[in-house]
Each structure stands twice: as C-alpha cells, then as structure tokens.
A and B are shown apart, each in its own frame.
Chain A
Amino acid sequence: MSQPNLLIDNLRVSVEGTEILKGLSLNIKGGEVHAIMGPNGTGKSTLASSLMGHPKYTIDSGAVTLNGENLLEMATDERARSGLFLAMQYPSEISGVTNSDFLRSAINARRGEGKEVSLIKFIREMEQKMNVLDMDESFSQRYVNEGFSGGEKKRNEILQMMMIKPKIAILDEIDSGLDIDALKIVAKGVNEMKGPEMGVLVITHYQRLLDYIKPDFVHVMMQGKIVRSGGPELAEKLEAQGYDWIKEELGIEDETVGTKA
C-alpha cells in the first residue's frame, strides 16, 4: 500500500454564495501531523467539512486528491471509503442504532458483501480500543452519541477513527469542551494510531492540544487562506504572543471571512 498523500490545491469554497475558502493549498502525507490554527471564523471548519463533502458547501475551484484520486468527484461515503476520516465538532445522535452496529456497518461497507468482519473479531477489537480510550463497555450497546456528554462524544469519534483506520484523519476541534484528563485520553488514542499508514490534520484554536498531539507542521489560517506555515515553534509563538503579530505583518485588521463572526 502506498503512503497516504492528500493534496489540496488552491481550493475555493463558498456557502450560499459567500466565498469562505479563498485558494487554500496543503499537502499531508502518511506519518505527518499537521495542525491548522487560527481564530474563530477564519474558515477552519469549512475546510474540514468541504473535504468530507458536506452538502452545504460548494466547491468553486481547485483540486483535492487522495493518492491521486479526485476526492471532489466523490460522494461523502466514497470519500470515506477512499480513506478520509473526519472527527466532527458536533457529531449527530442516531437514536435506536447501537454504537456497535454502526461501527460494524462502517467497517463492512469497506469490505463488501460476503467479506464481512467476524463478530468475535470485531467485538474483541472494539473492546481493546475502548479500553485505550477509557470508555465503559456499555458504550458499545448504547445508541450512537445519544445522551453522551461532550467528552464522551469526542472519545466516540476517536474510537471510530481507531476502528476504521483511515489514511487521512481530520480532527475538527476535537479539544473543544474537554477537560485536561479527557484531552489526554483523546490524544492517547490519536498517538496510538500515528505511523506511516496515516496522516493527521488537527484543527484547533488552542496550543494546549498540541502539547499532547505533537505536530510536525503548523499552519495559521486567516481570511480563508493559510497565511503562515512552520514547525512546532510556530504554535509556541502563537501561544506566547497571540495572533496579532501575524495580522500586523499581513496588514489586516479583521482576520475572519464571510459573514462577520
């Protein structure tokens, strides 16, 4: 299997006629951890959702390929089966569908008819991953995200990632609403998966998460574009000095894009 390679080239995306992403380019390879940072309203979550194919977003121009395959031509489920995964900021609650049935459907969707995962093997693996994430056994039989606390939902997203084993995982504000202990657990799950088989894109406001998931590359997003890229030291500088110095260097006052935040 070739090393995962997600290539985003000059991507322009709009929502209901308003352009949000204004020519964004990024290359993520297996084994790399990229972090996109930036204040609210700069287009970070739009990037995540439009990569996954959320129907609300219109791709105006640009290209996105995963290992040479054109993702933009694919429906959301095909993108997922090609190896893209998005841990969502606000995951849906699916009443009446157990976590276990949901995950088994997701895994079997990749394997095809007649090649379904054996139940025993599946349960064993799920138990092991839940153990890593410090999730109670009962979560496998609970309905997907229904009645879960914020932290439990985030852990459930990481559990899905660990079971599905994507080529590229995007974590959209996985740290929001988490206390430090929950954050450590989530990071532990991500770090367990790290390796040449998977590239990671972490989207966050805060440096805090990057203490536990160490990025190789840090990008700053403003006005729908990546305006600065660097190594982990860039995140530290942002933590110490905030975003104003970048705005000054760029000569902008309002870093947001589209409708005012």
Chain B
Amino acid sequence: MAQELKENLSRDLITQLSNKKNEPEWMLNLRLKAYDLYQELPIPKVDKIKIDKWNMDQFSLIPGSAAQEKDLNELPEEIRTFMDKNTEDRSVLIHKNSEAVFKQLAKELNAQGVIFMDLGQALKEYPELIEKYFAKSVAMDENKIVALHTATWNSGAFLYVPKNVEVEFPIQSIYLAEEEGLLPHIIIVAEENSSVTYVDHHFSNEQSETVVNNSVVEVFVKAGAKVRFATIHNFSEHVYDYTFRKALVERDGTVEWVIGEMNDGNTVSNNTSILKGSAASAFVKSIFIGTGKQKTSFTAQVVHEGTHTVSDILSHGVMLDDSTAIFNGITKIVKNAVKSDATQAEKVLMLSEGARGDANPILLIDEYDVIAGHAASAGPINKEDIYYLMSRGISKKEAERLITHGFLAPVVSRIPIEGLQDQLENVIERKLRK
C-alpha cells in the first residue's frame, strides 16, 4: 500500500503506519511528536547551498516489513557480490526498499548474545532496548529533515554487542533502493569493552525511481568499546540523500567512521561524534567525488566534552564537471576538556573549471590546555607530482589517475570487506572516467 506522502501525511497516516506494524504505543507517540516538529521546524540552513527547493517529502511511503526469509540465491547478483566471501557464517542483513529480505547472524555471535536484525523486528523482540536508544543520539528536534525521518522511518537495523564481546568479522547490511522513499534507521550499541565493525552499502539501480533517502544512524560506544562504522552511499542522479549520523562515545571508547559518499545526486551528509567520557576518541575519514551538476553539503563534526579526548577528521573530495560541494570540518572543545588533542584536514582536488569545492575548517575551542590543528586546501593536482610520475614513463592521464586514486585511498583501504572495497574502486573508476 503505497502512500503519496506529501498530500496525505497526517497524524492519521502516521497512526495507521504504526498500527499496521503493531508498534508499541510509545513509538506511535514518538512518531506523532516528531510529525508535529516536522510541521513546525524550518528547513535547515546549509552553508552556501540552497536546499529549500530540494525534494524532501515527495515519495511514496510503504510501512516496511520484517525479514521474510528468502534464499540467498534468489537475491540479485549485484547484492551477492558485495557480501563477505571469506566466510559462510557471515552476519548480514539485506533490505530491498523498505523490506528486509534476508538476514543471517553468525552462530557464534548469536551464542554470545549479539543481536543483529532489522529495526522493525527488534522493536517487537527487544522493545525496552529500542526505547532506551531510539532517537537518543540523533534527536528528532535537530532539524526538519530528522523530524520527518523520525515520524516516518520504515526500515533499518539494530546491532547490539554485549559487554566484553569482540566481534571478529564485519557485520554487514545492504540497502537496495528501487522504487520508493527509503527511511532507514540504524542503531548500534557497543557495550563496555566490546568491539565491532559494521559496514553498510546503500545504493540504487540505474532505473531506480527512488527520489528520497532520509536516513539516521545512531551509535552508542560504551566505556572501552570500539566501533568501526564503514558506509558507502551510491545513489543515482535523481535520488536526494539526507543522512544524519551521530556517535556518543564514553570513557576510553573509540569510534571510527569510514565514509564513501559516491552518490550521483544531491546530498546532505552530516556526521557527528560526541566524546563524552575522558580519553574517548573519534576518527573520521571520508571521501567524495562530485560529478555532473550535483550539489553536496558534507559536515564532519567532533565535540570534545571529556578530558584527554582525541579526534582526527580527514575529508577528501574530488570535484568534476559542474559539481558543487562544501566540506565543513567542525571541531569543538568545551571548557574543561583539558589535554584534548584534535586535528582535521579537508582537501579538495579540483579537476574541472566548472566545479566548485569549499573546504571550511572550523575550530571552536573554549579551553586553553589542548592541542588543535587543522589544514585545508582546494586546488588542482600538484604539477610537480605529475612531473615526477611522468619522469618514470607514466602518461599524464595515468599519472592523474594514480594520484587521484591515491587521494581517495584513506577510505578505500579501510573498507573491511574485499568485495565491497572492489565495488568502491569500481565506482571511483566509473566516476573519474565520466
């Protein structure tokens, strides 16, 4: 039952959506509250890009359904190529549109108490856990887009890693968009001294009619825990992608974000880490390739609240054609977060006259006893570097290709699944050849 959202979105429709899925009352109330906020809040201001005319709410909304176990071999080949080939006992959750079509959790992890399933099912099986974490890091009143998401979310994942459990193999999730609005909500909880790598891939087919992806990622890193979150977004030209991610990191915890923004369409991507406890750390690595007339706003933010907290933001963008992108790196160190150490670097390679790329390092520091550094640059490939490679017999074109791939390597090399790494390489190759 597809619903054209804009005309019909109302308290009634949201109530129907929630009831259809037999959600607990608190979730319905939360959705309704978010709906009210969506009505009230203004469209967020994005630095130097006007997003008022972007499609935010024109899509058909399908409630989404829990995993209908399908045979892996029935899944499209394009999905299977991304999966971890090193093990049969993999942990993977696959969504096609808002429907979870396949899920598997490694037996060993199941025995250790790891939970990994689509969020709709988790809401049924672990309502108290979901209530504890849902919308607790990315608050619904952050902006209109997040409020809309919270009111209408229709798919997603829940990953829970109990205390002291170290997950060896990456946990994977795949989102294929074919025909409708996608509103996945992803929650990751890593309890004390646990460690886990989660990797997901959001993509659309060439013929996809999907117009909006509005996703939220919430990561909770407890004391001493380690989470590596790797993601690739690869939507086609006519998909608007809005993604808000936030990690709350407690004492001695570490979050590492590895982000490949490979969309062909307009994108708002916002990534925040709050270092709440002392000696917590956040490492953010992201790459982006702008093509066509694409417009993108990319923000990576770290807030140092605890003492001795450490962060590093690396953001590399390659701008082609007539694309526009703003890269904001925001490091905030609050008063009393002494001995914090923060670095950030935004670098933009301009490979076309018509492209525009802005790198904005922003340091907001209210404490003296810290170390903070930043670097930002935007410009063409260094001519001396090209000359150096050419002096070894490499053609100019190949030299530029090598240097550009090298520029994107910090993220590619950190994608934990080989098949997905190859896929990212292919996307990069395709975009650079355009």
Q: Which of A79, A101, A102 counts the most chain B CB atoms within 10 A? A: A102
User: For the complex, what is the distance from the CA of A92 to the CA of B402, rounded to whole Å?
Assistant: 14
Alpha-carbon distance A112/B114, docked complex (angstroms): 52
Q: Within 8 Å of chain B (Cβ to Cβ): is A91?
A: yes
Tell me, rounded to whole Å, the shortest Cβ–Cβ distance linking B307 to chain A.
Answer: 30
Cα–Cα, bound, A54→B410 (Å): 30
Q: Chain A: which residue is nearest B388 at the CB level?
A: A92
- Which 8 A-B residue pairings sit nearest by Cβ, starting from the closest? A96-B406, A96-B409, A80-B393, A92-B388, A97-B406, A106-B392, A76-B390, A77-B390
A86 contacts the other chain (Cβ, under 8 Å)?
yes
Could you tell me the distance between the alpha carbons of A75 and B395 in the complex, rounded to whole angstroms?
9
Complex CA gap A109/B395 in Å reads 8
Task: Give the complex CA separation of A95 and B407 in angstroms.
Answer: 6
B406 contacts across to A, CB distance below 8 A: 94-97, 143
Question: Chain B: how many interface residues by the 8 Å CB criterion?
Answer: 24
In angstroms, how far is the closest chain A Cβ from the Cβ of B409?
Answer: 3
Which B391-409 residues sit within 8 Å CB-CB of chain A? Answer: 391-396, 398-399, 402-403, 405-409
The reply to whether A88 and B391 form a contact with Cβ atoms under 8 Å apart is yes
Interface residues of B in 191-208 (CB under 8 A from A): none
B contact set with A: CB distance below 8 Å:
382-385, 387-396, 398-399, 402-403, 405-410
CB-defined contacts of B385 to chain A, threshold 8 Å: 92, 94
Please, how many angstroms separate the alpha-carbon atoms of A207 and B395 in the complex?
A: 36
Closest to A103 in B: B392
Pair B389/A81 contact, Cβ less than 8 Å: no
Contacts of A76 in B (CB 8 A): 387, 390-391
B contact residues around A81 at 8 Å (CB) = 393
The docked-state distance in angstroms from the alpha carbon of A110 to that of B406 is 22
Contact B382 A92 (CB under 8 A): yes
Q: Which residues of A contact B399 (CB under 8 A)?
A: 77
B398 vs chain A, min Cβ distance (A):
6
Contact B405 A96 (CB under 8 A): yes
**A102 touches which one: B395, B402, B409 (CB < 8 A)?**
B402
Q: Which of B384, B393, B403 has the largest number of chain A CB atoms within 10 A?
A: B393
Task: Report 12 cross-chain contacts, Cβ distance below 8 Å, ordered by A residue.
Answer: A55-B387, A77-B391, A77-B393, A85-B392, A91-B388, A92-B382, A94-B385, A95-B407, A96-B410, A97-B409, A102-B402, A109-B393
Query: When chains A and B are docked, how far (Å) is the Cα of A85 from the Cα of B393?
Result: 9
B250 to chain A, nearest CB (A): 33
> A70 on the interface (CB 8 Å rule)?
no
Quick check: B402 and A105 within 8 Å, CB to CB? Answer: yes
Closest to A97 in B: B406
Task: Kindly state the separation between the CA atoms of A55 and B385 in the bound complex, as whole angstroms.
Answer: 12
A73 to chain B minimum Cβ distance, whole angstroms, is 15
User: C-beta contact mask, A124-164 vs B, less than 8 Å → 1, else 0?
Assistant: 00000000000000000001000000000000000010001
Question: B410 near A160 (CB under 8 angstroms)?
Answer: no
A220 interface contact, C-beta 8 A: no
Residue among B388, B391, B394, B406 with max Cβ neighbours from chain A (10 Å): B391
Whether the Cβ atoms of B393 and A106 lie closer than 8 Å is: yes
List the B residue with the shortest CB-CB distance to A106. Answer: B392
Query: Is there an interface contact between B396 and A97, defined as CB atoms closer than 8 Å?
Result: no
B104: min CB distance to chain A, Å: 34
**Beta-carbon contact of A102 and B392 below 8 Å:** yes
* Closest residue on chain A to residue B403 by CB atoms: A94
Report the nearest A residue to B402, measured CB to CB.
A97
Measured between alpha carbons, how far is A55 from B384 in the docked complex, in Å? 9
Residues from chain B with Cβ under 8 Å of A143 in the complex: 406, 409
Interface presence of A52 (CB below 8 A): yes
CB pair B389–A75 under 8 Å, yes or no, is no
Bound-state CA distance A75–B398 (Å) is 14
Instruction: State in angstroms the CA–CA spacing of A165 and B390 once bound together.
Output: 16
Q: Is the CB of A86 within 8 A of B391?
A: yes
Cα distance, A53 to B385, chains bound together (Å): 14
A75-B390, A88-B391, A92-B387 given. 7 additional CB < 8 A pairs? A76-B387, A76-B390, A80-B394, A95-B407, A96-B407, A102-B392, A105-B394
Q: Are A77 and B395 in contact (CB under 8 A)?
A: yes
